Amino acid sequence: MSPNSSPHSPSASSPVSPDSPADNPLLRAWSGRFATPPFADIRPEHFAPAFEAAFAAHEAEIAAIAADPAAPTFANTIAALERSGALLERVSDLFFVLAGAASTEALLEIERDISPRLATHWSAIQMNQGLFRRIAALHHDAASLGLDAEQRRVLERYAVDFRRAGAGLDEDDRRRLAEIVERLAELGTDFSQNVLANEQSAVVELGPDDLAGLPGHVVAAARAAAQERGRDGHLVTMSRSSVEPFLALSPRRDLREKAWRAFVARGDQDGATDNKPIIAETVKLRAEQARLLGYDTYARYQIDDNMAKTPDAARDLLEKVWQPALARARADRDALQDLVRADGGNFALAPWDWRYYAEKLRKVRCDLAEGEIEAYLPLDRMIEAAFDTAQRLFGLAFTPRTDVTAWHEDVRVWEVKRRDGHPVGLFFGDYFARASKRSGAWMTSLRDQDRLDGETRPLIVNIMNFNKGEAGAPTLLSFDDARTLFHEFGHALHGLLSDVTYPRIAGTNVETDFVELPSQLYEHWLERPEVLSRFARHHVTGEPMPDALINKLVAARTFNQGFTTVEFVASALVDLDFHSLAWVEDLDPASFEAEALERIGMPAEIAMRHRPPHFQHVFADSDYAAAYYSYMWSEVLDADAFQAFEETGDVFSPEVAERLMKYVYSAGASRAPDEAYKAFRGRLPSEEALLRRRGLVDEVVSLR
């Protein structure tokens, strides 16, 4: 139910009240070619009346649809639902962009109030018996309604949505389910805000002596982080882009331990921001939610509507990768321990040592150091590389729009057009870490695409947390940072290229274990010499990255893959374990985590990529709950999909790119994901391409 039009402003003769569109920029029509939000005019106090007006308008629209005396048709029920809630969608999308990227205490307070109200509002709609009867009747008669393929798919998704929301339950169960949904929204908001509070307060201060041995770009980033917080000196913050380079490059073992412990302890601190009680209650409520809906576990409920279909299928994929990754990680651990001894250390390798000694091992094995790479990866050049790749694949052009305001002075805006000049939408890039921004990287939107009532052009947002360079100096990215930029831009393209009629199936509104295909696939082009040779240029001299360095970088792609695979798969398996509990009483998340890791043989020297107390994918929201595996499920697809280009000898093959755009990037959820992939590739993939890409094939053979 995405917005498809702006609400009308009142006539000139309408009385003006404090909450009227004349005074509230959220309630009046937005101007400009793309009808973008007037960020300069928006204040926190505008949101409460805007949400109230939006709730009331949507409730009235829903009541009219449900009570329509005419027999249900696609037009008066499904299309009407698609048109409803435009104001609420618009206000919500804008609010959550601000709450995530430009938070203030006022916005956080509004979020604590509005998140459960939104959950209750949508739950009431999807349990509305009048709507459910109309949708069920249409779904039963779908074959005789003369619907086109898109309409059939939209009707199917609505039928599934309402069933999974509990519309088919009796009144008592619907009431209990609504209570659970509301409480889960409260818990998710508290979880997210607790992590943010820990990230804002936990920093590692570096004195002059603590900077010894750090490369210039890390020192500059630490100084910029202090300046952004209004402090002198140098800081390591709890942004991954700040912590991980410090762990990899600081020779001070005591400071590495301090930074690592603070990073993994986010949300795991006794007191007001402790997320462990939230995890326990969340897991218990989700298990009850699943039982009410007819599933024995939440994992079965969640995965039933994904490509994997069952937790067993998801776990089977993870375990196929786990054993070879574990074998590789153990071999690398032994090599790193040898380096510790060679370095004069008489200590056992610890988690805060892995990245530091892995850098040394990469230099030995690959003749490559991270510092060599970052000098050639200034942010602006990597943005150009991502745009140029989109131009070569999909014919898109990106033009800066300095006349469009955003929520922070650092946010950049581009207008996107197709090669024939047809406007696509706007792309907002918010790249730098700030104390007011939640950690991580994500894609979201201020408006999605649809063609329900004319062409609605999307406003797509990428939010990241790179360490901003000092004034006058470029921002330099690690290769992992550059990969993150390409990843999130792949999501952005999924939203920008969407070309469907109905909001319900537009853009990224696809199954969770399919949504990462466009993003992860896009990462492949960053690693190609065809891209690096053009855009990886030294930030001082402007010289292109030497061919020898490109070759070493590409050859080192599978270095340390045991570590990266283990830290990911462990997180995914523990996520599945939490949500495979049928009954939950007195859950101790810390003990559960420790027991789960012991059961799978987690190396003590490696931490989960996301420990439960700060696992926002899983506990701040439900989208990836029991579904963190989906990144790896999509990786099976993306590894095979890129082979389609490689098989032609041209990684920008126009024919393959056209199929990719038609069946994946532009199609939204207009087809079931397995059908969409087969339409693109001609078949479904196997795990072999994934194992080969991660360099784990030899370990698979040896384990056999």
In the numeric block, the tokens 């950690």 are attached to 439
Alpha-carbon Rg for the chain, nearest whole angstrom, is: 25
Distance between CA 102 and CA 435 in Å, rounded? Answer: 9
Q: How confident is the model at residue 19 (pLDDT cuts 50, 70, 90)?
A: low
Position 9 pLDDT exceeds 50: no
Determine, yes or no, domain membership for 150.
yes
Same domain, 151 and 208: no
Q: Express each pLDDT in 397-426 by its tens digit.
A: 999 999 999 999 999 999 999 999 999 999
The contacts of residue 312 (CB under 8 Å, 6+ apart) are none
Strands 423-432 and 204-206: unpaired
Q: How confident is the model at residue 470 (pLDDT cuts 50, 70, 90)?
A: confident
CB 466 within 8 A of CB 432: yes
- The residues facing 476 across adjacent strands are 378
Per DSSP, 456 falls in state B
| Element at 429 (helix H, strand E) | strand 423-432
Residue where one domain finishes, among candidates 164, 184, 219: 164
Residue 228 is among the residues annotated as catalytic for this protein: no
Residue 331: per-residue pLDDT: 96
Q: How many CB atoms lie within 10 A of CB 694?
A: 22
pLDDT, average across residues 470-493: 94
Position 156 pLDDT exceeds 50: yes
Determine, yes or no, domain membership for 469.
no
pLDDT, average across residues 44-66: 98
Tokens describing residue 264: 């993994």
| Element at 315 (helix H, strand E) | helix 311-342
pLDDT, average across residues 473-485: 94
Q: Express each pLDDT in 577-619 by its tens digit.
A: 999 999 999 999 999 999 999 999 999 999 999 999 999 999 9
- The residues facing 450 across adjacent strands are 456
Residue 3: per-residue pLDDT: 32
Determine, yes or no, domain membership for 274.
no
Q: How confident is the model at residue 53 (pLDDT cuts 50, 70, 90)?
A: very high
Distance (Å) of CA 602 to CA 29, 567, 599, 642, 694: 55, 9, 8, 31, 19
Position 207 pLDDT exceeds 70: yes
CATH number at residue 109: 1.20.1050.40
- DSSP alpha helices (H): ranges in 442-528? 479-496, 512-526
Residue 287: per-residue pLDDT: 98
Determine, yes or no, domain membership for 226.
yes
Same domain, 155 and 206: no
Domain ranges, residue 238: 202-264
Q: How confident is the model at residue 703 (pLDDT cuts 50, 70, 90)?
A: low
Per DSSP, 304 falls in state T
The contacts of residue 373 (CB under 8 Å, 6+ apart) are 478, 479, 549, 553
Distance between CA 208 and CA 560 in Å, rounded? Answer: 32
The three-point CA angle 640-643-648 to 5° equals 150
Position 18 pLDDT exceeds 90: no
Distance between CA 532 and CA 219 in Å, rounded? Answer: 26
CB 446 within 8 A of CB 424: no
Tokens describing residue 221: 């980033």
Q: Express each pLDDT in 370-393 by its tens digit.
A: 778 999 999 999 999 999 999 999
Residue where one domain finishes, among candidates 238, 264, 290: 264
Same domain, 138 and 210: no
Residue 117: per-residue pLDDT: 97
Distance between CA 389 and CA 242 in Å, rounded? Answer: 28
Residue 270: per-residue pLDDT: 86
pLDDT, average across residues 487-496: 98
Q: How confident is the model at residue 429 (pLDDT cuts 50, 70, 90)?
A: very high
Q: Which of 399, 394, 449, 391 is nearest to 427 (CA)?
A: 399
Q: Express each pLDDT in 330-357 by its tens digit.
A: 999 999 999 999 999 999 999 999 999 9
Tokens describing residue 172: 């008592």
Distance between CA 221 and CA 204 in Å, rounded? Answer: 13
Identify the active-site residue in 89, 370, 488, 605.
488
Residue 13: per-residue pLDDT: 30
Determine, yes or no, domain membership for 251.
yes
The 3-class SS string of 67-97 reads: CCCCCCCHHHHHHHHHHCCHHHHHHHHHHHH
Provide the Cα torsion 254, 260, 261, 266; round to 10°.
Answer: 150
> What region does 270 belong to: left with phi over 0, alpha with psi -120 to 50, or beta?
beta
Distance between CA 48 and CA 51 in Å, rounded? Answer: 5
Determine, yes or no, domain membership for 222.
yes
Determine, yes or no, domain membership for 118.
yes
Same domain, 60 and 136: yes
pLDDT, average across residues 466-482: 90
Strands in 74-216 per DSSP E: 204-206
Residue 6: per-residue pLDDT: 32
Cα dihedral 149, 153, 159, 160 sign:
positive
Same domain, 44 and 159: yes
Same domain, 146 and 214: no
Distance between CA 630 and CA 636 in Å, rounded? Answer: 10
Domain count for the chain = 2
Order of strands, sheet of 442-447, starting from the edge strand that comes earlier in the sequence: 397-400, 412-417, 423-432, 459-466, 442-447
Distance between CA 24 and CA 701 in Å, rounded? Answer: 65
Average model confidence (pLDDT) across the chain: 94
Residue 698: per-residue pLDDT: 76
B/e letters for 150-169, b = 16+ CB within 10 Å, e = fewer, are bbbbbbebbbebbbbbbbbb
Residue where one domain finishes, among candidates 226, 249, 264: 264
Q: Which of 669, 636, 635, 629 is nearest to 299 (CA)?
A: 629
- DSSP alpha helices (H): ranges in 500-556? 512-526, 529-535, 547-555
Determine, yes or no, domain membership for 355.
no
Distance between CA 433 and CA 463 in Å, rounded? Answer: 9
Provide the Cα torsion 269, 271, 274, 277; round to 10°.
Answer: 130
- Burial of 40 (C-beta count, 10 Å sphere; 0-12/13-18/19+): exposed
Same domain, 145 and 62: yes
Q: Express each pLDDT in 624-655 by its tens digit.
A: 999 999 999 999 999 999 999 999 999 999 99
Position 136 pLDDT exceeds 50: yes
Three-state DSSP at 413 gives strand
- Within its chain, how far is the Cα of 409 from the centroid? 23
Which residue type sits at 584?
V
Q: How confident is the model at residue 12 (pLDDT cuts 50, 70, 90)?
A: very low
- The residues facing 415 across adjacent strands are 399, 426
Same domain, 68 and 136: yes
CB 290 within 8 A of CB 297: yes
Give long-range contacts, CB 8 A cutoff, 24+ apart: 143-149. Answer: 145/73, 145/74, 147/74, 149/670
Same domain, 208 and 91: no
Distance between CA 580 and CA 312 in Å, rounded? Answer: 10
